[in-house]
Chain A
Amino acid sequence: MSPLQFCLIFSGVLFSVGLAGALARSNAILVLLGIELMLNAANLNFIAFWRYGPASAPATGVIFVIFSIAVTAAETAVGLALVIAIHRHQRSIRLQEATRLKG
């Protein structure tokens, strides 16, 4: 197993853990955190490929990660604001109960 493959597997496992959390938990905050984990796993891949990948441009991977982190930050801010809004409306942040958008 090459180091690159190891890194990728690491990120894959981290991703799956995040997914499992997001799927299993009913607390909206935890779901959000699970998604954060998945995004982190993606960032891991960028760095791994940047480090080991063939003919990488000097800074591409890092730049991607920086942008990704910025976007994630925005996403978290909005997500948490939503959670708080939901909480204020129905005194609960259980995701199962937030089904008012049901078609």
Chain B
Amino acid sequence: MNAVLILIALVTVGTAIAAMAGRNLLHSVLLLALAWTGVAAFYLWAGAEFAAFAQVLVYVGAISMVVLFAVLLTRRSRDEAAPGPAGQSRALSAVMAAAAVAGVLVGAILRSPLAASPGPAPAVTVRQLGAELMGPYAAALLAVGVLLTVALIGAVVLAAGDRTGQPEDNP
């Protein structure tokens, strides 16, 4: 355990909390990008460089951009109203539920006899990863490829919507 790890953790959790609690949507997205970077930093610290780069590329690079677009696109909506009594009670119940989950998780972790091997991080080269992906995990890779394609098409269809402008499904 070292100070770097603690720092990474604190920053990540802190920005995440701020992002979730913030009033301004844009700020939230930016803060979240920070949190994702923190996660990437953790990966780096743990020795998983490739995962870290993937995290940065996908989350910080791609997803946060897409989310920003979405935020901008939906901006004209009647924005989140002032949190009325219903909103407050919902926030309260949400925090309670989350706290309960956290409590259970932490309790479970602390009670479990987890034997950590103190050795150095297993070294994984990108070549190794590539061989793994094209070897034993080829089928999974294909499946993910299909999934991404389908998701892409689905997203396009959904976002493009119907040309007529009529509401789509009548129940």
User: A-side interface residues toward B, CB under 8 Å?
Assistant: 1-10, 12-27, 29-30, 32-34, 36-37, 40, 43-44, 47-48, 50-54, 56, 58-59, 61-63, 65-67, 69-78, 80-85, 87-89, 91-94, 100
A9 touches B158 (CB 8 A): no
A20 touches B95 (CB 8 A): yes
Given contacts A63-B132, A84-B73, A91-B78, contact A74 B151 (CB under 8 A): yes
What band does the interface of chain B fall in when counting residues whose beta carbon is under 8 Å from A? 35 or more
- Tally inter-chain residue pairs, CB-CB below 8 A: 247
Chain A residues near B164 (CB-CB < 8 A): none
Expressed in whole angstroms, the minimum distance between the Cβ of A30 and any Cβ of chain B is 6
Given contacts A17-B16, A23-B98, A88-B161, contact A29 B122 (CB under 8 A): no
B46 touches A51 (CB 8 A): yes
Expressed in whole angstroms, the minimum distance between the Cβ of B111 and any Cβ of chain A is 10
Given contacts A3-B1, A78-B155, A84-B74, contact A15 B91 (CB under 8 A): no
The 5 closest A-B pairs by CB, nearest first: A21-B20, A23-B94, A74-B151, A20-B98, A16-B102
Which DSSP category, helix, strand, loop or mixed, fits chain B's interface?
helix
Given contacts A63-B129, A74-B147, A74-B151, contact A87 B74 (CB under 8 A): yes
B20 touches A52 (CB 8 A): no
9 pairs of residues in contact across A and B, judged by CB atoms under 8 Å: A6-B1, A29-B74, A51-B121, A58-B122, A62-B48, A62-B124, A74-B150, A89-B168, A92-B78
State the CA gap A95–B117 with chains docked (Å).
45
Q: B77's closest neighbor in chain A, by CB?
A: A92
State the CA gap A51–B42 with chains docked (Å).
11
Q: A80's closest neighbor in chain B, by CB?
A: B70
Chain B residues near A77 (CB-CB < 8 A): 66, 151-152, 155
B151 touches A8 (CB 8 A): no
Q: B63's closest neighbor in chain A, by CB?
A: A76
Which one of A37, A58, A84, A92 lies within 8 Å of B35 (CB-CB)?
A: A37
Which one of B12, B28, B158, B171 lies within 8 Å of A82 (CB-CB)?
A: B158
State the CA gap A82–B98 with chains docked (Å).
26
Given contacts A16-B105, A74-B148, contact A100 B70 (CB under 8 A): no
Query: Which of B42, B54, B59, B76 counts the most A-chain CB atoms under 10 A from its CB?
Result: B42
B51 touches A85 (CB 8 A): no
Expressed in whole angstroms, the minimum distance between the Cβ of A68 and any Cβ of chain B is 10
A5 touches B151 (CB 8 A): no
For chain B, residues 17 to 37, give those with C-beta under 8 angstroms from any C-beta of chain A.
17, 19-21, 25, 28-29, 32, 35-36
